[in-house]
Chains A and B, each alone.
Chain A
Amino acid sequence: MLQLDGLSKRFGDVLALDGCTFEVGRGEMVGFLGPNGAGKTTAMRSVFGLVSLDGGSVTWSGAPIDRVARLRFGYMPEERGLYPRMRVLEEVAYFGRLHGMTRADAMSTARRLLSGLGLEERLRDRVQDLSHGNQQRVQLAVALVHEPDLIVLDEPFSGLDPVAAARLAEVLAERAHEGAAVLFSSHQLDVVEHLCEDVVIVDRGRVVLSGRVEDLRAASPRRYLEAVVIGAGAGWAGAVPRAALVSHRGDRVRLRLDRPFDLPDLLARARAAGEVEEFSLTPPDLSEVFMEAVGQ
């Protein structure tokens, strides 16, 4: 289990981490969310000793992290980087060997992994000759080649097309299923909601919300009403007490309701406006939970 406990780090006037605390267990896939500048990258770097923390500790299986432990970690930094003139297969195998694999083992695993990522035709090409998206796949292979016990990926989905993103999601789910702890940051909350059971939301260097996505959604005091009243537009929803119109399109409206809300009254208003085709109450989705958590 990866534990970040009370991390703090100041860069000049900026407090990047301010008592950041959370954990990622083996077999868990945790989405790491937060607005830009919330401290996600700094927290992830701290796992690899790339940041000198002002306070707090990072541990793996209860012990401080050293180089030996890091051999079993995989990392994809926010700022991607590869040796541009190395050939794809050699590059991935090199990083495998740096993580303790034998040459033969690294080569065969790299070949298998790259083929699985759709790069079997490009193994002998130089990395710099690949498209941005394909370089990103190589970067991912570099993070995964040694079959790490802990996988930390900073914005792995940014810059990927939907097909590649789906493949990445599959690979990560596989690794988590095999017992790896997976932590990744993302701004694509729909992807996170689809992929992760657990999320950690940080804002200004502190964890403001963490736990199972389902629990967080259910625990929110707010509910959202999705309704379609044929021919009524959004007018009927305008004057409802303790409700705010979030969005509307044609006859479809989405209302945010604060407790206590009067559902029968709402339904009556809708019926009065026209034929009700859809009327459903849901907890907030992850992006709404996120907005609430970071106070926007």
Chain B
Amino acid sequence: MSAWRTVWLVMGRDLSARRRAALIVTLITLTLAVGGIVVAALATEGSSATLSGEEADRVIASMAVVILFLSLVTTGQVIAEGVAEEKRSRVVEVVLGTVAPRQLLVGKAAAIGLIGLSQVLLLVGSVAAAGVALDAFALPRATTGALVAVVGWFLVGFVFYATVYGAAGALVAPHENSGNATFPVTLLLMVGYFAGLSAPGGRSLLIQVLSLLPPTAPLTMPLRIAFGDAARWEIILSVVLTLVAAYGMIRLGARLYAGALMRGGRVRWRDAWRNAAHLG
């Protein structure tokens, strides 16, 4: 049996276990999006004012950062909680009897990433639909690019953060909230988030630097794209850098995950690293 079939099976189980939760979140998202559009439509009714280009950029940019931050953090948390659950219910020992830790982690992350991606597509689709419906944004400008960037950067950011969130979940002691263990990872995302939101017009040296660094690029580069401020080479460079770093993060996350999974009690990051020395 190939390793990919195992990953596929793990993924299928995780998807099926979350189908109800995913449906509920989808319905909530849709309701909020439609509600938002209706409210916005009512608020702008009668006034002929569409947003100026600069204002539209700002709205789109903030939305992009907020959507990316929320979706990366929530999918990360769901992965961590899924991992912690398997450890808590102790089913993980049975599973690891036949499944490699890496396969289990990748399968789970892929399933949850897929759900996260569909949520992001839904949100982005709603924003785009609202924009078209209300004719509020100057669509031909950077908007389309910004929306595509949100989806793309969600994927890149997800690849970067997913396995480390998984590893954080594996550190959790029984009866412990997985939020404690994931905090350091979430903190990394928050740096990009606050930097992105507080950047006036997205044009500062800090943002320029952060948008090239892998941990903060997924939240700050889309911001610059929304402002139409990022040169093509910068975008390509930051994607490449983040993906290269993501490869390292996946290796790191998988190793920490394997090292922590079979340990009882709260595991420290350092011990997880050492425990996995034999697993390679």
Interface residues of A (CB under 8 A from B): 45, 48-50, 52, 67-68, 70-71, 73, 75-77, 79-86, 94-95, 97-100, 139, 142-143
Min C-beta distance of B278 to chain A, whole Å: 4
- Closest B residue by C-beta to A81: B90
Map CB proximity to A onto B5-34 as digits: 1 under 8 Å, 0 otherwise.
Answer: 010010001000100000000000000000
Q: Are A81 and B92 in contact (CB under 8 A)?
A: yes
A-B contact count (CB 8 A): 67
Interface residues of B (CB under 8 A from A): 1, 3, 6, 9, 13, 17, 86, 89-100, 262, 275, 277-279
Residue of B89, B92, B97, B277 touching A70 (CB-CB under 8 A): B97
Main secondary structure of the interface of B (DSSP, over half): helix
Contacts A71-B1, A94-B13, A98-B9 given; does A81 touch B93 at CB 8 Å: yes
Contacts A52-B278, A83-B17, A86-B17 given; does A98 touch B99 at CB 8 Å: yes
Report how far A45 CA is from B92 CA in the complex, Å: 13
Q: Are A97 and B9 in contact (CB under 8 A)?
A: yes
Q: Are A77 and B17 in contact (CB under 8 A)?
A: no
Min C-beta distance of A159 to chain B, whole Å: 15
Report how far A80 CA is from B92 CA in the complex, Å: 10
Residues of A within 8 A of B96 (CB): 48-50
Q: Are B90 and A67 in contact (CB under 8 A)?
A: no
Residues of A within 8 A of B275 (CB): 52
Min C-beta distance of B272 to chain A, whole Å: 13
Min C-beta distance of A158 to chain B, whole Å: 15
Which of B3, B98, B279 has most A Cβ within 10 Å?
B98
Report how far A52 CA is from B279 CA in the complex, Å: 8
Which of A67, A85, A86 has most B Cβ within 10 Å?
A67
Min C-beta distance of B63 to chain A, whole Å: 35
Report how far A286 CA is from B6 CA in the complex, Å: 43
Residues of A within 8 A of B99 (CB): 98
Contacts A67-B100, A71-B98, A98-B99 given; does A85 touch B93 at CB 8 Å: no
Report how far A80 CA is from B96 CA in the complex, Å: 13
Q: Are B98 and A81 in contact (CB under 8 A)?
A: no
Residues of A within 8 A of B95 (CB): 98
Q: Are A80 and B17 in contact (CB under 8 A)?
A: no
Report how far A94 CA is from B10 CA in the complex, Å: 9
Residues of A within 8 A of B279 (CB): 52
Which of B90, B93, B94, B100 has most A Cβ within 10 Å?
B94
Residues of A within 8 A of B3 (CB): 67
Min C-beta distance of A88 to chain B, whole Å: 14
Q: Are B93 and A82 in contact (CB under 8 A)?
A: no
Residue of A52, A82, A85 touching B94 (CB-CB under 8 A): A82
Residues of A within 8 A of B277 (CB): 52
Q: Are B94 and A50 in contact (CB under 8 A)?
A: no
Q: Are B89 and A50 in contact (CB under 8 A)?
A: no
Min C-beta distance of B6 to chain A, whole Å: 7
- Closest A residue by C-beta to B104: A98
Report how far A83 CA is from B17 CA in the complex, Å: 10
Q: Are B97 and A75 in contact (CB under 8 A)?
A: yes
